Amino acid sequence: MEQTLILTGAHAAADAARLCRVQVVAAYPITPQSKIPEILSGYVEKGNLKAQLVRVESEHSAMGVCMAASIVGARAFTATSANGLAYMHEQLHWAAGARLPIVMSVANRGMGAPWTILNDSQDSISQRDTGWMQFYCMNNQEVLDLTIVAFKAAEQLLIPCMVCFDGFWLSHTFMPVVMPGQQEVDAFLPPYIPFHTLDPENPVNINPVVMSDPIPDGDGVLSPSYMGFRFRLQQSLEEAFPVISQAGREFGEIFGRFYDDPLYRYRADDADFLFITMGALASQATEIADDLRQEGVKAGVLGVRVYRPFPAGELLQAVRGRRAAAVIEKAISYGYQGALMTELKACLYRENGGSPVISNFIVGLGGKDVSAADLLRAARESLAAAKSGMPPDKPQWIGYGI
């Protein structure tokens, strides 16, 4: 039976994994994600979750456990942050290349050095090219809901998925969360049926060394080359949006909260100016958009909920005809600009007129507070750039101090 609880983002992620009836949880602590496996270990100990909780010695091993479990047909889950995610890097490529539908919570945290335990999204943004889907949550309800949607999409596409949310801002903040009933989740997410099964009587070689050209397998069937496998993964990601959207739509039909749109939109239909951002910043920007409306500026918000695959078509349509946009990011692609800015500019490249003047702002690194004044400054500087037709050629840093 559905009920409303007051939960942290970490608790919402753990409850989502429980509701999804995960069968293997790889557990290794790192702030601010440590509470997720801790809560799940309690569920396993009390018999509320029939799963194997495997305590490992590192994040690299955690992903290895998830991959082994997924290969044999189990629904696998883990969670990490920051340098722990970076330590998984090799294994992330393996999981995607092996087409394993693992779901992982990422409680976003700044990367060392220097050390910080506080929030930005540099950790997951730096892993965007590993072949994983990436969802970004703006509140704790989305942490729960998108984890469930992620399993549905991942198991249909055979592509792993990170569900990312701001460390501390969401992971340790209490919010009302509507908790679905187990029967309803079971109806939405049936047991995982693996693409292939392992049979001791019919042994197979999984993920062998492949060559630069297709070669026959043991049965004489021509098998893809390395580049052929990479092409198939890219093709699946390019074709993933209908599957993701359908999963989000089916979720909404059962639970009343729809995630068929890869973008969160707030007062965007008639907006002349847009905040474009991800995660909890999208929620914060809605208040500033309201303030700007009171000043006579038609402001709105676009929150990128699905970052990988990148929703280029949806973003292009959503920004077309606007006067100005401020792309607000908690990450930087060193030596250039924010990754979201780069991707947005790429999808606008073929537009012949009708594109807004876009300005890029780097904020909140290492947990630096992003104030209402910061967002208002970004909006006003973006509007001024649109008026002059001269946007800055470099990202503008707000709040970095000295």
- b/e map of 33-61 (b: 16 or more CB within 10 Å)? bbbbbebbbebbeeeebebebbebeebeb
**Who has greater pLDDT, 258 or 390?**
258
pLDDT at residue 401 above 70? yes
What 3-state class would DSSP assign to 261?
coil
Residue 176, number of CB atoms within 10 A of its CB? 11
CATH number for the region 263-397 comes to 3.40.50.920
pLDDT at residue 353 above 80? no
pLDDT given at position 223: 86
pLDDT at residue 208 above 90? no
**Which helix (DSSP H) or strand (DSSP E) does residue 282 occupy?**
helix 280-294
pLDDT given at position 402: 63
Give the percent of the chain with pLDDT over 70: 100
What's the rounded mean pLDDT across residues 157-172? 98
Confidence band for 351, pLDDT divided at 50, 70 and 90: confident
User: In which residue are the tokens 């639970």 written?
Assistant: 255
Q: Helices in 72-139 by DSSP H: which ranges? A: 82-87, 89-97, 122-125
What's the rounded mean pLDDT across residues 206-210? 83
Q: What is the pLDDT of residues 299-329, one digit of tens each?
A: 999 999 999 999 999 999 999 999 999 999 9
Confidence band for 250, pLDDT divided at 50, 70 and 90: very high
Confidence band for 388, pLDDT divided at 50, 70 and 90: very high
Give the percent of the chain with pLDDT over 90: 89
Q: Helices in 59-198 by DSSP H: which ranges? A: 59-71, 82-87, 89-97, 122-125, 140-157, 182-188
At a CB cut-off of 8 Å and minimum separation 6, what does 251 contact?
A: 145, 148, 149, 152, 188, 257, 258, 259
CA distance linking residue 314 with residue 321, whole number of Å: 14
CA distance linking residue 33 with residue 206, whole number of Å: 31
Q: What is the pLDDT of residues 74-84, one digit of tens each?
A: 999 999 999 99
Confidence band for 203, pLDDT divided at 50, 70 and 90: confident
What's the rounded mean pLDDT across residues 237-260? 98
114: preceding bond cis by omega (within 30 degrees): yes
Q: What is the pLDDT of residues 218-248, one digit of tens each?
A: 788 888 999 999 999 999 999 999 999 999 9
Query: Is 3-193+240-255 assigned to CATH 3.30.830.10?
Result: no
pLDDT at residue 142 above 80? yes
What's the rounded mean pLDDT across residues 357-373? 97
| Domain ranges in the chain with CATH number 3.40.50.970 | 3-193+240-255
Strand residues in 167-296 grouped as ranges (E): 175-179, 215-216, 222-223, 263-266, 273-277
- Asked if 161 and 104 touch (Cβ cutoff 8 Å), the reply is yes
- Asked if 398 and 362 touch (Cβ cutoff 8 Å), the reply is yes
- Asked if 120 and 169 touch (Cβ cutoff 8 Å), the reply is no
Q: Helices in 126-181 by DSSP H: which ranges? A: 140-157
- Asked if 136 and 164 touch (Cβ cutoff 8 Å), the reply is yes
CA distance linking residue 148 with residue 177, whole number of Å: 14
pLDDT given at position 199: 84
At a CB cut-off of 8 Å and minimum separation 6, what does 104 contact?
A: 63, 66, 77, 78, 79, 80, 160, 161, 162, 163
pTM for the model stands at 0.97
- Asked if 139 and 199 touch (Cβ cutoff 8 Å), the reply is no
pLDDT at residue 128 above 90? yes
Please choose, from the candidates 136, 167, 138, 145, the residue with its C-alpha nearest in 3D space to the C-alpha of residue 266: 138
Confidence band for 350, pLDDT divided at 50, 70 and 90: confident
Q: What is the pLDDT of residues 265-297, one digit of tens each?
A: 999 999 999 999 999 999 999 999 999 999 999
Please choose, from the candidates 3, 5, 284, 7, the residue with its C-alpha nearest in 3D space to the C-alpha of residue 172: 7
3-state helix, strand, coil in the chain (%, to 5): 40, 20, 40
113: preceding bond cis by omega (within 30 degrees): yes
Confidence band for 352, pLDDT divided at 50, 70 and 90: confident
| Domain ranges in the chain with CATH number 3.40.50.920 | 263-397
Q: What is the pLDDT of residues 335-349, one digit of tens each?
A: 999 999 999 999 998
